[in-house]
Amino acid sequence: MTRNAFADFLVRRRAELRPADIGLPVGGRRRTPGLRREEVAVQAGVSADYLARLEQGRDTNPSAAVVEALAEALLLDEQERSVFGWLALTSSHESRCPVASPAREQLSETMEAILRALAPTPAFVLGRRLNVLGWNPAWEDFAVPLGLLDDRENVNLAEYVYTHPLARRVLRNWAATADTFAEVLRRSTLRRPGDPDLRETIDTLRKNPEFTARWRPQGTGLEMAKVLRFEHPELGALDVPVEMLESDADQSLVVWLVDRSAAAGPGLRLVTPQASGE
């Protein structure tokens, strides 16, 4: 039987957790990452066989009490519990489960106009996978020396941070930025569990040990990076505040306030300061 979105969520979440997360001793070799099925079953007060049926999609009608117990055992935060409960509710009716539309790769006319209007401030538009859909000349001028536009057909901020040879040298807060992008993608999978393009991006990134190490729940208290700290090859050390404005079309306008004096002025403050990936 094909697994449903609820079953996929269970399997992925169990793989994300570590024994220490639920108070188990660390040690001993494990054939697969994450918690054993039996460990989660004990925490939730259900049988390992029943949990196996849920994970394999053979049982699609868990009770509210079971869903709540599993949410506790899997250490889900409020947002995750909401998605988890909704997936459980629809697991027996796959036609009701969300089938995510393909990532919208075409830049909207509105976003194109805003990018032009923001010149000479560097700005670009993100898709749902942290893929860059379009940018203005000012951002291009800033990004080219960083290697961000080496492959103009596939510009993805997460792939750049984790795989580009220049990323660690030009990002002085590389670790914080890497944490932010991993968490942004993880939360995106909660909102769009059926998005095949998003899953493909994550599967590719998980081949990188650094990403795999960060691909685990950080919780809602994670301090998202609001400033990118560059050692720019041409401009030197720069602390760049990041502003972001989301649209209803799975596109987000991102502005890098490279000119710190401009950042202090009211004209370019688009929204309340947010995370670079939020």
The domain tally of the chain equals 2
Nearest to 75 by CA among 4, 19, 7, 3: 19
Domain of 22, CATH number, reads 1.10.260.40
| Per-residue pLDDT, 37 | 92
> What are the distances in angstroms from CA 198 to CA 158, 175, 194, 203, 278?
12, 22, 9, 9, 16
pLDDT for 128 equals 84
Residue 231 belongs to a domain: yes
- Identify the domain boundary among 72, 96, 120: 96
3-state helix, strand, coil in the chain (%, to 5): 45, 10, 40
237 in helix, strand or coil? strand
User: Measured between alpha carbons, how far is 79 from 219 in angstroms, rounded to an integer?
Assistant: 10
What b/e sequence results for 168-206 when a residue is b if at least 16 CB atoms lie within 10 Å of its CB, and e otherwise? eebbbebebbbbbbbbbbbbbbbebbbbebbbebbeebe
Residues whose CB falls within 8 Å of the CB of residue 188, separated by 6 or more in sequence, listed in order: 128, 129, 195, 198
Residue 63, Cα to own-chain centre: how many angstroms?
Answer: 29
Chain position carrying tokens 């969520």: 9
Domain C-terminal end among 64, 96, 128: 96
Same domain, 36 and 133: no
- State which residues of the chain have pLDDT below 70: 1-3, 27-29, 91-105, 190, 193-194, 216-225, 248-249, 260-278
Q: Mark whether 113 and 212 lie in a shared domain.
A: yes
pTM above 0.75, yes or no: no
Q: Give the model's pLDDT for residue 224.
A: 53
Pair (141, 227) in one structural domain: yes
pLDDT at 164: 97
One-letter amino acid at 19 equals P
User: The domain containing residue 262 runs over which residues?
Assistant: 109-268
pLDDT at position 263: 40
Domain match, 139 and 261 both: yes
The answer to whether position 242 is within a domain reads yes
256 and 127 in a single domain? The answer is yes
pLDDT score of 251: 82
The tokens for 22 are: 């639920």
Q: Where are the alpha helices (DSSP H) in the chain?
A: 5-16, 37-44, 48-55, 64-73, 78-90, 109-118, 137-143, 157-163, 167-170, 174-191, 196-205, 209-214, 260-263
Residue listed under structure tokens 């509210």: 64
Q: Name the domain boundary from 63, 96, 129.
A: 96
